[in-house]
Structures are given as structure tokens and as C-alpha cells.
Structure 1
Amino acid sequence: MAVVNLTPEEMEAALGDKLKALRLSRNLDQQTLAERAGVSVRALRSLESGQGSTLKTLVAVLRALGRQDWLNTIAPVATINPLALTREAQPRQRASRTRRAPSAG
């Protein structure tokens, strides 16, 4: 099932399933992960079950699992555009003119 076709509730559940699978693959119980993340077991349980959570809980759990890099897929770190450097990084003031095709004749 494609992510774009999921409801917000289905997306929360899928994210919770992924976090739970990651926790289990690291052989951690909920109590241990909750302690490492600095969140309550109840908050972790809600996150893993897709029943709603806070962004703070999600970030804390990702950090405790060593997967805060997942957040970069949401908002990648900006990269430098080499062309912007050659133009002294000034914003464009207008669009370029369209070029006419050479006349045949």
C-alpha cells in the first residue's frame, strides 16, 4: 500500500509498527526504551500503537533508538546550489526571456 493513499490514522499505525519492530530488533522492552528516551511507558505504548503521541515523544524515541536520521527524510538539510554562488547569491528579479527559434531562410 502506497503511503500517499493512507489516512493519517493508518500512517500513525504504520509508523508505530516500524518503531516497535526497530525496538524489538534491538532486543529492548518498552520500559527500557522509555527510560532511555525519557518518556513514560504509556507515551511509548501510545506511539507504537498509533493512538497518537506528541512530536516530542517521537523525537525522544528516535534519538534513543539512534535513528534521528529518519527526520532528515522529512526535511533534508539544505544543500548549496553552486549556480547561486556564481551569481553572488542574489535573488532573481525577473524571468529570462524566451528565445526565438532561428528562422530558416
Structure 2
Amino acid sequence: MNTYVSATPDELQIRLGEQIRRLRLGRDLDQLTLAERAGVSEKALRNLEAGRGSNVATLLQVIQALDALDWLQALAPAASVSPMALLRQRPEPRRVSRRRGKRTPPEQQQR
């Protein structure tokens, strides 16, 4: 089950910050080093990791400095097949008639 569905925006910011922090620690970077690489203040990075409101520019600079831009692809992956194209390719439904048996003329029918 997706635990993000019922989360509030504040909870989502906290979870995002935790993911950024785990990624930073996984890259063995301290906050000051990452902030410098990203071109943001250390306080902006701390706020981002704490889920205390940050802007999109800061987020993008940080994930770029972490070499994690594939996160953006995960937000809206490019469809390999267009659902509308699939609908257009589907053949039109055809009416199927029942096979009828050979009719026996009334004079040959048994009573």
C-alpha cells in the first residue's frame, strides 16, 4: 500500500527531507560540503532535510549536487506507449450473428 496517499503536505516534506538526508549520508557528505556543491546556504539545506519549507530551486540544486536527477524522471516517467494510441488501434467491435440451422419446409416437419 502506498503510504504517501494519505500524508499531508507537511508530512511529505518531512519524508522528502529524510530521503535527501539518507542520500547525502550514503554519499558520505556533510551538510556544509553538500550545500557548497549545490550553491545553497547550509541553513537552506538543513531546512530542506528537516522538512521545514524549502523552495523548488533549492531542492533541484541539492538533488543535482547529489547526482540524483533521476528522481525527476520518477515523478512523471515518459510513457512508452500512449494509452490513446492503444485505444485507436483496437478494432471496432463487430456484431456476431448466430448461426441458424437449416430450416425444414413445413410440409416435411413431423407433427
- Scaled to the shorter chain, the TM-score interval is 0.7 to 0.9
Q: How does 1:1-105 map to 2 (within 5 A)?
A: 2-77=3-78, 79=80, 98-105=93-100
Specify the alignment match of 2:88 in structure 1.
Answer: none
Partner Cα separation in structure 1 for residue 12 and residue 31 of structure 2: 21
- Percentage of matched positions with identical amino acids: 48
Q: Superposition RMSD on alpha carbons, in Å?
A: 2.5
Structure number with bigger Rg: 2
Q: For residue 8 of structure 2, what is the amino acid of its counterpart?
A: T
Output the CA distance in 2 between the equivalents of 1:76 and 1:67: 15
Structure 1 moving runs of 4+ over 2 Å: 77-81, 96-105
Aligned length: 95
> Any stretches of 5+ residues in structure 2 without a counterpart?
86-90, 101-111
**Post-superposition shift, 1:66?**
0.6
1:44-103 CA distance string (max 9 Å, x none):
11110001111111111001001010110112235465xx6xxxxxxxxxxx85433433
- Partner amino acid for 2:72? L
Per-residue deviation, residues 7-57 of structure 1 (Å, max 9, x unmatched): 111111001001001111111111100000011111111110001111111
Deviation at 1:5, TM superposition (A): 1.4
Distance 1:102 1:53 in 2: 65
Change (3 A) 1:4 1:38: same
